[in-house]
Amino acid sequence: MTPLEQRIGYKFRNSLLLAEAMTHPSIGYETQRHHLDNQRLEFLGDAVLQLIFTRHLFDLFPKHSEGLLTKMRARLVSREGLKVHAVALGLGEFLMMGRGEEKSGGRTRAAALADAFEALVGAIYLDSDLLTVDQFVLNVAEEELARLLADPEEANPKGQLQELLQSMSPKSPLYVILSSEGPEHAKKFTSAIFWLGEELGRGAGGSKKEAEIAAAVDAQIHERWKLPKTV
């Protein structure tokens, strides 16, 4: 087993998958040549993590509402949450990346580490099966899941999103109530969140606060600030 396989406790049948998962896209950008990187595996791993955590939370909290389950899942799959797992596994030291990216602190950058963890999950899934990767993910996330079990409502999606966005710009996000429907005793509100002229997310709830929280969760899940700006 390679040192990284020993670290993660999994032996790859196809070692090329592990190499691909640990290849940062900066290598291709720097060499200006086609080079396999971890972006496709990151895409797959994100979906696998969503499924694993969704199913586990569904079983773990049988009486919790969809809104609270969504908040907890967002906490588990957030960039900072995945970075913690990547750091615990020491993925930064195994990343293959361009010299410029490395010199600028790429090995400790939250985005690079979170992407590497997602890519690793995608690689293990392709190399084995859902049961194997499920066991790997739940083992790695054991401490965070224990904290959720102790305090499932600890998450503060609006505060987390505000902190994340203000790390990129001092401009604060704006929440707008788009609609309110239904009778007074059972109203349903829909809220949207805007930042730098772009809509980042939408959500609905039985109160304005719940709708805003749902919009913040939607924004964190889809990370629309990463998308190219529309003209």
Report phi then psi at 21, rounded to 5: -65, -25
Catalytic positions, written as ranges:
46, 118
Q: How far apart are CA 117 and CA 181, in angstroms?
A: 41
Overall fold of domain 3-150: Ribonuclease iii, N-terminal Endonuclease Domain; Chain A (1.10.1520)
Asked if the model's pLDDT at residue 120 lies above 60, the reply is yes
157-226 CATH: 3.30.160.20
More confident residue, 35 or 79: 79
Q: pLDDT per residue over 41-59, tens digit each?
A: 999 999 999 999 999 999 9
Q: Cα(202)–Cα(190) distance, rounded to whole angstroms?
A: 7
pLDDT exceeds 90 at position 97? no
Phi, psi of 178 (to 5 degrees): -85, -35
Question: Residue 182: pLDDT band by 50, 70, 90 thresholds?
Answer: confident
| 231: confidence class by pLDDT, cuts 50, 70, 90 | very low
- Could you tell me if 47 and 77 are in contact, meaning their C-beta atoms sit under 8 angstroms apart? no
Q: 15 is written with which tokens?
A: 């070692």
Reply yes or no on whether the pLDDT at 230 is more than 60. no
For residues 59 and 55, what is the distance between their CA atoms, to the nearest angstrom? 6
The residue ranges of every structural domain in the chain are 3-150, 157-226
Report the percent of the chain where pLDDT is more than 70.
93
